[in-house]
Structure 1
Amino acid sequence: MNRYDDLLQDTIDLHCHVDLEFSETLFRKRGPEDEWLPAAERSGMRGVVLKSHLWPTVSVVPFIKRLYEGPVEVWPSITLNGATGGIDLWSVEAAYHQGARTVFLPTWGSVNDLRNGGFHRRLADAFEWFRPERLCVQRVIDDGGKPTDDVRDLVRFCRDHGLTLATGHVSWQESLAVAEEAATAGLDRLICSHPLSNSVRAPLDAVRRVAELGAYAEVCWTNIAPGRKDPAEVVAAIREIGLDRVVVATDYFTGAVPQPSDLFRLTLGTLHDAGLTAAEIHRVAAENPARALGLE
C-alpha cells in the first residue's frame, strides 16, 4: 500500500447514491453495488450510507447484502422528496422499521433547489412529466424563519429512534434553523449536507455556527472536483469550521467518476495533498462519520 491507500482504512462514506436510482438507463453509475463493494472491502472501508433521490434504499439494501456478504456495512436511508411523501413522519417511521440509518431532508424537492438551479434541472431535462413548479415546493421553515411543526417532530423522532438527520438541498438559512432546533431538542446526529456546494452556498460564518451548535458540516468530492473550489481553500475552511465537526464523503452519483472506493481515495488524497494530515483525514473520514451515525 502507498500513503493514499492507507487513507481509506476504516472510513465511512455517508453520501453514496445507489446505482439503479431513476431508471435502467438514466443517471446510472459505474456499476452495481455487488461489483464495487468488494473493491471497497479490499481498500479497508468500514461502510457506506446508500442514498437515493427518489426511493428509500431500505427496499434494496437487503437484496444487495445477499449479493455481497462481506464486512463492508451498507446502511439504508430515506430522502424526503415528494415521491416519498415529503416531510412526513409516517414515511420516516416505516423506513426506520426497515432499517434506515439516515434521513435526508428534501433534495430536488426543496424550494431552495428550485431557486438555485440545483439537481431538479437535470430531472426536468430527462423526464417528460417532471414538473418543478409542482414538485419542488418543500420548505423546512415558516415565514418567521422557524422550523415547521413537521420538521420539529422529525428532529425529535430522529433523536428518539437513533437516526441521523442530513439537510439535503435545503438552503443554508434552513439548515441553520434545523441545527438550532436540533441543539434545543438534543439531537447530536445532524449533518449539514455539502454547505459549500453551489446549490446551498452557505457563507463560512453560517457553517461555523452550525458546527458550534453541534452539527457536522459535510465536504464532498463535488466541492473539490475540477472546476469547483480550490482544494487548499476547502482545507482552510475545514480547519476554520473545526476538524471535530467536519465529515468528508463522496456524494458519488455520476457514471463519469470512478467507483465509490476509488472516488473516496481520490477525494481524501486530494485533501491530503492540499494540506490535511493523515491523522486529520482519519478524523474527518472515519472517526467523525462513525460518531455521526452513532457507532463506536
Structure 2
Amino acid sequence: MRDDSPDDWAAAQPDGFADLLTGAIDVHVHGQPDLATALPNRGDDLGVLRLAQRYGLAGWVLKSHLWPTTDRAALLQRAAGPDFTVRGSFTLNPTLGGVCPTVVELAAAHGATVIFLPTWGAAADVDRDGYVTTLLRRIAPSLDGFADERSVRVVDGDGRLTGAARETLDACAERGLSVGTGHLGLAESTAVVEYCAAIGHDRVLVTHPLHYVDDAAELRRFTDTGALVELAAAPLLHPEGHLHVRDLARAVHVLGPDRLVLSSDVFSRWVPPEPECLRVVAEQLRHLGVEPPALHRMLAVNPRRFLGLDQEPP
C-alpha cells in the first residue's frame, strides 16, 4: 500500500497538473492541529506546506478557531524559505477575549497580519449551531454555556456597529492588519464592510458568505463597497454541505472575479490536504467555464491585495 503522505501526493502528479495554482496564496489554512490533536487533518503543517510549494503556491495565511497562529507561522516561514509567504492571524473568539482593540494591538505586536472576527463565538454562528461548535462540544462539555454567555454581536439593536467593534476595526486599520469577517451574519458583515470603507481600510474579506445567501447577487453589497468576498472549498466537501461547485461558478459569473478570493478552509479528516482541495476546486471551476485569468486573479492577485503585498504574482 502506498504511504499517503503529502510528498507522495506531490510525486504522483503529472507535469502541469497543478498549473492553475501557480502563484496562489491560500488565505484560509487551518493547519494541524486547529481544534484538538484528537481531530487530525491530513498531514502535518510542514509536510502540507511542502506539497503547496510543489503545487506552485506562493503562500498561506494560518488560521485557528481557538489560538494565535503567529508563532507557528514564524517557524514555518523559516522552513519555507523566501519564496513562500506564511502569515499568522488571531481570531477574536471568546478564548482570545472577543472583539477588543487591545487584543488587536497585542496581535500586531506579536506579528499577526490578519484579524478574523468571531467564528464559533459569533452570535450568528451560535444561533445556527455551526459545524465548528459541534466539534468543540465533543472536546469541551461546558462549551454551550460558555458560548451562550460570551457570544459576540458586533451590531446593536439598531443595526449599528458597537463601540467595541468600531474601536477594533480602527485598531486594525491603524496597524495595517487585514480583516476577515469570520462567521458574522450578513447584516453584521455589511456593517463591518461599510465602516471599513468609511475609514479607508480596504483590506477586508467577507469570509464564506454563501452560508447566508442563496443568490450570489446579494453579495454585490460587499463587492460594490470595495470589499473582497471569499469562495471556500470546505463547504463543497462537507458530507452535510448544501453548496455545489456550480454555486461558486455562478457567483463568479454574477459578481466577476475582480473582488473574489478562492481559499481552502478545510480541516476535516475526510478531505485531502489543503493544496489538493484548492486544486480540485480550481480545476472544477475551469471545467465549468471559468477562464484561467479569472482563476489567477481569485487565487493569486486578490489574496495579495488582501494581505497588502505589492509584488506581482507569477
Larger mean Cα displacement after TM superposition, 157-166 or 228-237: 228-237
Aligned to 2:3: none
Contact persistence 2:29–2:63 (CA under 8 A): yes
Contact persistence 1:21–1:54 (CA under 8 A): yes
Within-5 A mapping of 1:115-264: 115-118=127-130, 119-132=132-145, 133-134=147-148, 137-197=151-211, 200-201=212-213, 203-225=215-237, 228-264=242-278
Distance 1:34 1:255 in 2: 18
What secondary structure sits across from 1:60 in the alignment?
helix
- 1:8 counterpart = 2:16: no
Distance 2:305 2:201 in 1: 12
Shift of 1:287: 0.6
**What stretches of structure 2 of length at least 5 have no aligned partner?**
1-13
Out of 103, 106, 113, which is 2:118 matched to?
A: 106
Shift of 1:205: 4.1
In the superposition, the TM-score normalised over structure 2's length comes to: 0.88
Contact persistence 2:217–2:251 (CA under 8 A): no
Residues 1:279 and 1:216: Cα distance change in structure 2 (over 3 Å)? same
Shift of 1:23: 2.6
- 1:292 counterpart = 2:301: no
Residues 1:135 and 1:255: Cα distance change in structure 2 (over 3 Å)? farther
Contact persistence 1:109–1:135 (CA under 8 A): no
What is the letter of the counterpart of residue 249 of structure 2? V
Distance 2:309 2:77 in 1: 20
In the superposition, the TM-score normalised over structure 1's length comes to: 0.93
What is the letter of the counterpart of residue 27 of structure 2? L
Contact persistence 1:37–1:72 (CA under 8 A): no
Aligned to 2:72: 60
Aligned to 1:79: 91
Residue by residue over 1:234-286, the C-alpha shift from the partner in whole angstroms, topping out at 9 and shown as x without a partner, is 21222212311111101021122111211111121121112211111001111
Shift of 1:33: 0.9
Residue by residue over 1:26-74, the C-alpha shift from the partner in whole angstroms, topping out at 9 and shown as x without a partner, is x221121111111111111010100000001013222333444463211
Shift of 1:3: 5.6
What is the letter of the counterpart of residue 134 of structure 2? R
Residues 1:203 and 1:174: Cα distance change in structure 2 (over 3 Å)? farther
**What stretches of structure 1 of length at least 5 have no aligned partner?**
none
- 1:36 counterpart = 2:48: yes
Residues 1:98 and 1:164: Cα distance change in structure 2 (over 3 Å)? same
- Please give the root-mean-square deviation of Cα atoms over the aligned residues, in Å: 1.8
What secondary structure sits across from 1:91 in the alignment?
helix
Shift of 1:202: 6.6
Residue by residue over 1:150-179, the C-alpha shift from the partner in whole angstroms, topping out at 9 and shown as x without a partner, is 111122222221111000001011001111
Contact persistence 2:104–2:115 (CA under 8 A): yes
Question: What is the count of residue pairs matched by the alignment?
Answer: 293
What secondary structure sits across from 2:18 in the alignment?
helix
Residues 1:2 and 1:275: Cα distance change in structure 2 (over 3 Å)? farther
Contact persistence 2:207–2:229 (CA under 8 A): yes
Distance 1:193 1:56 in 2: 18
Larger mean Cα displacement after TM superposition, 61-70 or 76-85: 61-70
Residues 1:116 and 1:56: Cα distance change in structure 2 (over 3 Å)? same
Larger mean Cα displacement after TM superposition, 126-135 or 141-150: 126-135
What is the letter of the counterpart of residue 202 of structure 2? D
Shift of 1:110: 0.8
